[in-house]
Structure 1
């Protein structure tokens, strides 16, 4: 990708671990380190974009756009497993592109809510299928449950903040979160059984 050539002054050192390059960017704003890190996974990012966007030109644009997201976000968030984190950034970016002229918005749940970060694989299909099932189940929730679940898990709002935003009492907020989470787990289980042919 030519846009990284303008950033890179020398060939990246493949012996440096991902964590070293992440820290170099987070601590000192070393854009070279971030570019070197991204280059390691650019082909995989491009492949994932093609799967979602089904257009090589749009996918090349997405690869550049995702790097801009990294420039903004890597310094702001704790990134422990860069490859797994980059997978979610790429997936969400592509889904946002697909929905940019239509309905809905991307919902990013914590890894502990959806799946474990152990054994991450950028070009694997299980995380993608899980995320797509989760979105369908989220859309099926009653509106009040869906609203508070999104605020709680995506926006990291506490019960009091959600109550202030929605005009609901604390107990009602807690009830919606508990019921919404239970309904999502039930829905996710049902969809898994259907996919495996149990139902």
Structure 2
């Protein structure tokens, strides 16, 4: 009897064999079997980073969907370690996408424009807000909606995507372009 041999798991198909089998046959049930073994690890990682059981469960499903594609794209030597890193990165990206800008109101949003930083004169503030509204009305509808939801309603990218039907990339683009267009409008016309 060899005491130095690694103990065999009850399910004796090694992770690497399942990875190779999936890469060759694209059989989703093989990947499912492999993933099921490591779900407690993935859930633990997700819970650690997301700090919410429901979000962690959703992330576990999202990671599996990612896995379907990424296992074929990457050379996976040690599946467990690779899956840990994939899970961690998935959660970090989700946190980054969901992160709300810390209490960003329109004043902070438009800090680059002197028009919106008048003295404490109410008439000047009112004029600045009217100028901002006029420039907001000049934005294309998708930019206007995204900027309003992000800065005034303090919604995160994911929430805006869910509310509008836009993709996350579209939301980011509309906000970035909308902000730039507002700045140009305020600098050029003061409204």
Greater C-alpha Rg: 2
Q: TM-score range by the shorter chain?
A: 0.3 to 0.5
Q: Which gives a bigger RCO, structure 1 or 2 (Cα 8 Å, sep 6+)?
A: 2
**Normalising to structure 1: TM-score of the pair?**
0.44
**Normalising to structure 2: TM-score of the pair?**
0.46
